[in-house]
Amino acid sequence: MEMEVINGKRVVVVMPAYNAAKTLEKTVRELPETVDATILVDDRSTDNTVSIAESLGLQVFVHDENYGYGRNQQTCYREALAAGADIVVMVHPDYQYTPFLVTPIASMIAFGVYDVVLGSRILGGSALRGGMPFYKYLANRFLTAFQNVFTGAKLSEYHTGFRAFAKEVLTTLPLLENSDDFVFDNEILAQCLCFGYRMGEISCPTKYFEEASSINFARSVRYGFGVLNTTLKCWLQRSGVAHYRLFSPAGRKLLLDYYLPVQVKEPKESSRTG
- 244-274: per-residue pLDDT in tens? 999 999 999 998 776 656 555 555 554 444 4
Among 150, 158, 201, residue whose Cα is nearest residue 183:
158
112: left (phi > 0), else alpha (psi -120 to 50), else beta?
left
pLDDT for the residue 271: 46
Q: What does the DSSP 8-state code read for residue 251?
A: S
11-247, what's its fold? Spore Coat Polysaccharide Biosynthesis Protein SpsA; Chain A (3.90.550)
Sequence ranges of the domains in the chain: 11-247
The full 3-state SS of 24-75, as one line of letters, equals HHHHHHCCCCCCCEEEEEECCCCCCHHHHHHHCCCEEEECCCCCCHHHHHHH
pTM over 0.75: yes
Question: How do residues 51-74 score in pLDDT, each as one tens digit?
Answer: 999 999 999 999 999 999 999 999
- How many angstroms from the chain centroid is the CA of residue 76? 7
Separation of first and last alpha carbons in the chain:
61
Question: Which residue type occupies 226?
Answer: G
| Largest CA-CA distance found in the chain, in angstroms, rounded | 87
Distance CA 11, CA 86 (A): 6
Percent share of the chain, pLDDT over 70: 91
Residue type, 258: Y
Would you say 152 and 239 are in contact if contact means Cβ atoms under 8 Å apart? no
